[in-house]
Amino acid sequence: MEPKIVTTTSVFPKGYSAQKAIEILSAIGFDALDMAFDYWVYSKESPFLSDNYLKWAEELRELSEKQGIPYTHSHCPGGADSGDIIGRTIKAASILGARYMVLHPMYREEDQSEITDPERFIKLNAEYTRPWIEEAVKHDIIILSENLDTGASIDPRNIAELVREIDSENFGWCFDVGHANCFGYKPDILTKCEIVPLSLHIHDNYGDYDDHYIPGKGNVDWNEFTQVLKKTGYCGDCVLEAHSQAKEAQENERPAILSALLDAGKEIRKNMSV
């Protein structure tokens, strides 16, 4: 089956109508959606934080399926140490139909110092994540950790090792291309991770800041990236997390930016299969 071209819903500002986002992204031509739940904790008035959040999720699923653009991925607010919001996100993601849920690893100690030791990083994240695996199994959700931009989390190999440590069919990892590029990890780092990621966060930058640009607007070598993906046997979706340009645009400018994002996704998908 051809990989879906998925976009994060964070291409819209926080609080932007989820219903309107579905309609716009469907009309532009994306295959599926990655629900940015982390954009729905902006205030106590958020429908995601209300008592009726599951009804809200059900209504969004009905609309997205009617529009032919289902939710397949989601992003949990906070990290592995964020407590009850993780359970709320698992339940909402399940209602949406978004089977893959990215959960950032925890990267700071209780005193807010960075966790730089890989063994400590893996140990703590395994301890904080394992209690949520049973909930993930219950709701048919696969939790994905991802490489971030601080401490031991920057090395994708540490994220892959966390997957090995937890050892569950309901836990895997997401390779964030832009984050890796910020720390000099070229796409071939995937060949050293041994465990193949189950998802991707695709966006670009110039290696000095986490810009989340459309692929082709930075210095990531996308040809190398797609060639490495084929070597690893990756068979998941093409998940675009290039939100900054669209999110910051004026309403009338956004459709053209999103169309350019879709075109970039199509090019990457084509090269993944060539």
Q: Per residue in 172-198, is it b (16+ CB within 10 Å) or e — as a string?
A: bbbbbbbbbbbeebebebbeebebbbb
Mean pLDDT per 10-residue interval, the chain, length 274 residues: 94 96 98 98 94 98 98 98 97 98 95 95 98 98 97 98 98 98 96 96 97 97 96 96 97 98 97 85
Find, among 133, 3, 125, the residue nearest to 73 by Cα.
Answer: 3
The pLDDT value given to residue 110: 83
How far, in Å, CA of 208 to CA of 198, rounded? 26
Q: Which tens digit of pLDDT belongs to each residue from 118-175?
A: 999 999 999 999 999 999 999 999 999 999 999 999 999 999 999 999 999 999 999 9
The pLDDT value given to residue 1: 76
CA distances from 218 to 144, 175, 182, 194, 205 (A): 26, 18, 11, 27, 4
DSSP class of residue 49 equals: G
Q: Is-contact 48 37, C-beta < 8 A?
A: yes
Q: Is the C-alpha dihedral spanning 263, 149, 236, 101 positive or negative?
A: negative
The pLDDT value given to residue 225: 97
Q: Is-contact 34 74, C-beta < 8 A?
A: yes
Q: Is-contact 140 166, C-beta < 8 A?
A: no
How far, in Å, CA of 96 to CA of 86, rounded? 15
Q: Is-contact 154 179, C-beta < 8 A?
A: yes
How far, in Å, CA of 226 to CA of 271, rounded? 6
DSSP class of residue 29 equals: T
The pLDDT value given to residue 250: 96
Q: Is-contact 100 199, C-beta < 8 A?
A: yes
How far, in Å, CA of 42 to CA of 215, rounded? 28
Record the pTM: 0.97
